[in-house]
Every structure is written in C-alpha cells, then in structure tokens.
Amino acid sequence: METGLGNPDKSIVLYHTDSMNEHFRRFNSGRANFFLVAFIALVLAGAVLKITASVVLPFIVAVLLAFVLDPIVRLLEKLKIPRVLAIILVIAGIGGGLYLAGLILFSSGKTILSRYPRYEKRFLEIYSWIAGLFGLPYDEHRTFVENLWGQLGFRNSIRDYTLSITNGFIEFLKSLVMVLLFMVFLLLESSHLEEKIALAFENRFSGKIRSIVDAIVDQVSRYLTIKFFVSLATGIFVALGLALLKVDFWLIWGIISFILNFIPTIGSLAAGAGVTLFALLQFWPHGWPVVGAFAVMLLVNFVIGNILEPQIQGENLGLSPFVVLVSLLAWGWLWGFTGLVIAVPMTVIIKIICEHVPILEPVAVLIGSYKDMQKYKKNKELLLSDQNSQSNEER
C-alpha cells in the first residue's frame, strides 16, 4: 500500500541522481583543461631544467643565496657602509669560509692517507672473506690494493672514478664562479626591485607580485638561515661526540654531517649509517665504541632535528612530509646532490606561488601540511562570513 509520500527509496534515488546531475552541470571543463595543459607544461619544464642544468642550476642557487644574504647587506647599509662595499664584504666572507673548509678537507685528506696502513689489515680480512665466498683469487703476501688490482674491473673503475672526480671538481669550480657572479649582480639589483615591479605592472598586479616576492624572500631566507645554523650545530656536536669516543677523522664526519643535514631525513640517515659502519671497521671486534658512535648520531639528530629545529622553524613552511620526500626524489633526479639540498626551498616557492594564484590554490592545499590546511580552511570560512555579512548589509 502506497502512502501519500510515494515510494521513499525511489525518491531518494531521484534526489541523488538530480544532485549528481547538478554536480556534473557545475563541472568546469575549462579548469580541467587548464590542469591538463599545466601538467604537460610541467613535464616539459622538467625536461628543459634537466637539459639546461649547467646554466639554470647556478642561477637558482645564486637566487636562493641572494635571498639569505640580502638582509645582511641591508644591515651593513644601515651601518653607513655603501651597498657595493657591503656586497664585497659578504662575498669575501663566503670566500673565506670556502677557503677554510677546503683547507680543513685537504689536511684531513693528508691525515687519512697517513693513517691508511692502520686499516690495511682490516681491509685484507674483509677481502679474504669476500674472496672465499665468491671464489676470487687471494694472495696473503700482497697488499689489499694489489689483491684488488685487476679484479672485477678494479683498474678500470679506479681510472673512471679518478676522471669523474677531476671532471666534477672542474665543474664545481665553474659553477662556483657563475654562482658568485650571478649573486653579485642580483644583490646589486635587489635594491631597486620594488620600483621596477611597480613601474612594469603599473599597479595592476604589482601588489600581488610584491606580496609573492616578499613571502618567498621571507620564508626561503628564514628556512635556509635556520637550516644553516642547525646543520652547523649538528656538525659541531657530532664532531665533539665522536672525538670523545676517539673515532678517527671525527672532524671530517662533523663536516659531512653538517653538509648532509641540509637534506631532510635522508641526509641524517646517510650520515648515521656512514659513521656507524666506519666505527665498526675501526673498533671491531669491540662493540661498545660502535654502539657509542651510533648513539651519538641518533641522539644529536633526534634532539636537534626533531625537537629544536621544529621549535625554531615553526610551521612556516607548511609542507606535507610526504611531499617533502617526493620533492627530494624529483629535485634530486633533476639536479643531483644540489637538487637534494635545495628541494625544500624550491617546493616552498612553488607552494607560495600557488597560494597567490586563485586557480592554483588546490595545488597549494594538496602539497601543504594538515595544520596548514586547517589554517586555509579557517581563512576561507572567515572570507565567506565576511561576504555574507556584506551581502546582508547591502540588502
């Protein structure tokens, strides 16, 4: 028997069908086409960045360094130092730091070569075990290098490795010169950037572009500055901890920890694994120093990386941890080790641009953290409430 309301199941189905039809009627095909074209452009841009890395990468690094150094230059200007002289002083400081780092690495390399005979016996033990496992020839009267020479293409590998190191060092010097040149001219031009933006866009988009540039400079410079001091603290404490345990080359491991700490998560894991394996090689069969070296790496990276750094850095970046890992893979594939170091700043720049372009706001929400999403949601609710109150006042 049917009631006056009719069949409730049928009415529910009709209601859902109508709502779905309404949803599809509201579907904006123009936006879908835009995202499709944007995806194709993104793939093509990645290919271009990969091919032109030798030119583009030094420029990107120079821009990021200019973000960090520009506040220092402005501070020196407030001390009545001319901008050109302030830039020269900053560049001289960078050159002095690089010279000091090179001097430390050179002296450490000489120390490594002088102490190599201490590890010859241990390397021979490892090679004899591997030779017995895989049936390789082994002569106990020969040194470790002599046993390896000619095995598994070792001679060719050494030659190729030497050539790659030489070529890599030459490319590094060329890139360093380009970075310094780009950075000098960027710092010279940055003082007139706001005037150029206002004049170029005649106040049509100058306000939005200025807000984008200010947000990028603020967040990227803050991130890189804090990351530098956090990494420096990590390197110092790692070096001190390993020195107390009498781990060889503790200064080099401190420098390595400082450099790798710029790579989120992966860098700390790589540094910890390297220190632990080296301690195992040095102290075997004594296990406590190995456990101590592992504990030093774990404690320093946990306290500084998971407690102090988030407290100092805060939630300003607002990136999802998953997005950070994906960005490491993407930028590392594009630009190698340098791409791993600058992966987070580049992703932050992309997020800031997406936040200020209305059609790209969904991308900013997707790559942002959960807390950042909640802030975005509250801002949107406040905006809607303001619009509703304005419409009510007009009525």
- Does residue 180 lie in a domain region? yes
What are 38-88's pLDDT values in tens digits?
A: 778 888 888 888 888 888 888 898 888 888 888 888 888 888 888 889 889
Mean confidence (pLDDT) of the chain: 76
Instruction: Check: pTM over 0.95? Answer yes or no.
Output: no
The pLDDT, as a whole number, for residue 236 is 92
Cα 89 from Cα 317, distance rounded (Å): 30
Cα 269 from Cα 327, distance rounded (Å): 17
Instruction: Please compute, for residue 354, the number of CA atoms within 13 A of its CA located in the half-sphere on the CB side.
Output: 19
Domain extent for 181: 51-119+138-191
- Does residue 394 lie in a domain region? no
Indicate if the alpha-carbon torsion angle 120, 125, 131, 137 is positive or negative.
positive
Same domain? For 305 and 325 the reply is no
End-to-end distance of the chain based on CA atoms, in angstroms?
48
The DSSP line for 4-29 is TT--HHHHHHHHHHHHHHHHHHH--H
Same domain? For 370 and 274 the reply is no
Same domain? For 75 and 150 the reply is yes
The pLDDT, as a whole number, for residue 2 is 46
- Burial of 150-161, coded b for 16+ CB within 10 Å and e otherwise, reads ebeeeeeeeeee
Q: CA torsion 267→280→242→344, rounded to 10°? A: 0
- Does residue 197 lie in a domain region? no
Quick one: average pLDDT of 170-181?
82
The pLDDT, as a whole number, for residue 112 is 72
pLDDT above 80 (res 348): yes
Give the residue with greater pLDDT, 358 vs 246: 246
State which of 296, 314, 332 marks the end of a domain: 314
Same domain? For 71 and 181 the reply is yes
Same domain? For 308 and 321 the reply is no
How many other β-carbons are positioned within 10 Å of the β-carbon of residue 54? 11
- Does residue 325 lie in a domain region? yes
Indicate if the alpha-carbon torsion angle 201, 205, 210, 213 is positive or negative.
negative
Same domain? For 183 and 217 the reply is no
Same domain? For 371 and 283 the reply is no
Cα 395 from Cα 376, distance rounded (Å): 29
The pLDDT, as a whole number, for residue 161 is 62
Highest mean pLDDT among 8-12, 67-71, 88-92, 108-112: 88-92
- Does residue 299 lie in a domain region? yes
Give, for 256, the enclosing helix (H) or strand (E). helix 250-260
How many other β-carbons are positioned within 10 Å of the β-carbon of residue 344? 23
DSSP 306: I
* Cis peptide leading into residue 285 (ω within 30°): yes
Same domain? For 264 and 223 the reply is yes
Q: Which of 2-16, 102-116, 255-269, 329-343 has the lowest mean pLDDT?
A: 2-16
Same domain? For 225 and 288 the reply is yes
The pLDDT, as a whole number, for residue 238 is 92
- Does residue 324 lie in a domain region? yes
pLDDT above 50 (res 1): no
Quick one: average pLDDT of 202-230?
78
Same domain? For 247 and 180 the reply is no
Tell me the pLDDT band of 315, cut-offs 50, 70 and 90. low
Same domain? For 277 and 373 the reply is no
Cα 251 from Cα 237, distance rounded (Å): 11
- Does residue 287 lie in a domain region? yes
What are 226-259's pLDDT values in tens digits?
A: 888 889 999 999 999 999 988 888 888 998 899 8
State which of 314, 347, 368 marks the end of a domain: 314
Residue type, 227: K
What are 379-394's pLDDT values in tens digits?
A: 666 666 666 666 666 6
Tell me the pLDDT band of 13, cut-offs 50, 70 and 90. very low
Same domain? For 145 and 270 the reply is no
Closest CA to 60 of 331, 318, 364: 331
Q: Which of 67-71, 114-118, 302-306 has the lowest mean pLDDT?
A: 114-118
Long-range contacts, 271-279 (Cβ 8 Å, 24+): 271/238, 271/297, 271/301, 272/297, 272/298, 272/301, 275/238, 275/242, 275/247, 278/247, 278/248, 278/249, 278/253, 279/245, 279/247
pLDDT above 60 (res 98): yes
State which of 128, 156, 191 marks the end of a domain: 191
Give the residue with greater pLDDT, 71 vs 205: 71
Q: How many independent structural domains does the chain possess?
A: 3
The DSSP line for 109-163 is HHHHHHHHHHHHHHHHHHHHHHHHHHT----TTS-HHHHHTTGGGHHHHHHHHHH
Highest mean pLDDT among 97-111, 115-129, 131-145: 97-111
- Does residue 196 lie in a domain region? no
The pLDDT, as a whole number, for residue 390 is 63
